[in-house]
A and B are shown apart, each in its own frame.
Chain A
Amino acid sequence: DQQVKQNSPSLSVQEGRISILNCDYTNSMFDYFLWYKKYPAEGPTFLISISSIKDKNEDGRFTVFLNKSAKHLSLHIVPSQPGDSAVYFCAASGGSYIPTFGRGTSLIVHP
């Protein structure tokens, strides 16, 4: 039973355009959400997070939006750059502080 779902295995975007990566969760106890980026042959790297008391968090080109009623969050990358090409993992945690990860979305940004 997947509690964190990333339904799009891959996404292709043109350089300079917006990339939107989506994530859905089923566990209503989750109250903290994170995005990680992973390049081949490297471990995941923490990108940005959001607490359930907020609905938006921004860090440079990266913005995460949280819709608690829909149990949905999204990561926006504007503008997208070729160096953003990687696998992006959505993760969520509750009281245990142990994040549960989705399967990831592979983003390809074309020059």
Chain B
Amino acid sequence: DAGVTQSPTHLIKTRGQQVTLRCSPKSGHDTVSWYQQALGQGPQFIFQYYEEEERQRGNFPDRFSGHQFPNYSSELNVNALLLGDSALYLCASSLLYGFNYGYTFGSGTRLTVV
């Protein structure tokens, strides 16, 4: 049973560009959350999607947007990239009401903005 799959694994972009990261959740999971982990920091919550709607959002600017598809997969889009957006982006899937079992995380996408 495949866990959470993220693509690409690494990405280098230029300041001002736009990027799309992709995530396929664990089979059976209906909720996808995105986190940003900067170097030396813990994961910071960006937003969560359930039933193709943004359910909750963390303290991130509107440059960060997302989408969830009918098959529960999700995309994270970041516009007008800044150097400070360089980080590991983690996707986590879960059941909306199965939180007690914890999230299943993907291995992440390492984004470098130059």
Contacts and interface: CB of A to CB of B under 8 A. Distances in A.
A43 B99 contact: no
Q: Size band of the A side of the interface?
A: 20 to 34
Contacts of A89: 42-43
Given A96-B56, A98-B33, A98-B56, A44 B100 contact: no
A85 interface: no
Interface stretch (B13-21, B67-75, B104-112): B104-112
B25 to A, nearest CB: 12
**Main SS at interface, chain B:** mixed
A36 interface: yes
Contacts, number: 50
Interface residues of B, number: 24
A44 B99 CA distance: 15
Contacts of A96: 56
Given A43-B4, A49-B102, A4 B107 contact: no
A42 B106 CA distance: 7
A46 B103 contact: yes
